Amino acid sequence: MYEQIASNKRRTLLIMFFFIIFVLLIGYVFGRITQFGYAGVFIAGVIAFAMSFGSYYYSDKVVLAMSRAHPASKEENAHLINVVEGLAIAAGIPKPKVYVIDDPAPNAFATGRDPEHAAVAVTTGLLHKMNREELEGVIAHELSHIRNYDIRLMTLTVVMVGVVALLSDWLLRSFFWGGRRRDEDSGYLGLILMVIGIILAIISPIVAQLVRMAISRQREYLADASGAMLTRYPLGLAHALEKIAKDNEPLAVANKATSSLYIATPANLRSRKGWSLWDTHPPIEERIKRLEEMSFEKMPA
């Protein structure tokens, strides 16, 4: 199990390294081709950071409001609150705020920028359709997202995707407006840079989104493994994921903007063509398989 967690961390770091190199490459070509020079790269970074700053500090409130989540009460949701409190102690993090979404589809998500400012939301469908071990598996997964600072990591990727999108747009506009190249980039070098710039301007947003999705999938694997360590029972989460996968209840409050937050893609947003590189979650069958393999390993003391 420790090997699974270490492998997921290494893959995430590798993907992030590739992402940073890719952004720097676009910035270099952008600076050589356009009249903005390298100052344009800095401006793009500032704008992308400003766009992400608000979402970083206020996205949790926005997401909870969009999901029509309401605070869990001790009278009606004592069982849920006790599970969250117990697993938060085991994870060594403050107890997050607990919310409930009135929807028959079983699902859950975590939000917040760090363990001190976090919340967990579950649907009434999850509470009604999961036994205690399955509920603990789901909550442990979401608390692992909080403990692993996944929201902070995904915010960083959003910033980089924003930089890539801005640079790509500026490159295309500079070609459309006939923007001048730097004087030293004349002749064949200038032509080569222009061709590279056009190619990068077209494919870079696509590549950036694919990298973002890949990072998201690796964090899901990591949260699965970390959550299994918290409960010491990987099959609890495996069985929960199996139930969620077989459930066809549409999650009315979910949309494409929030679907990546949930422990599994809601039934009404799943692709009918099966899994693809554009999915924010790994294939649920693969997640279940990995958890089942963990259950046969000797759990660390």
Give the catalytic positions in this structure.
142
Distance CA 35, CA 255 (A): 40
Q: Residue for token digits 């990072």?
A: 215
Helices then strands, each counted (H, E), the chain:
9, 4
d(CA 169, CA 281): 28
Question: String of b and e for 13-47 (b: at least 16 CB within 10 Å)?
Answer: eebbeebeebbeebbebbbbbbebeeebbeebbee
Residue 113 and residue 57 in contact, taking contact as beta carbons nearer than 8 Å: yes
Pairing state of beta strands 108-114 and 117-123?
antiparallel
Looking at residue 267, its amino acid is A
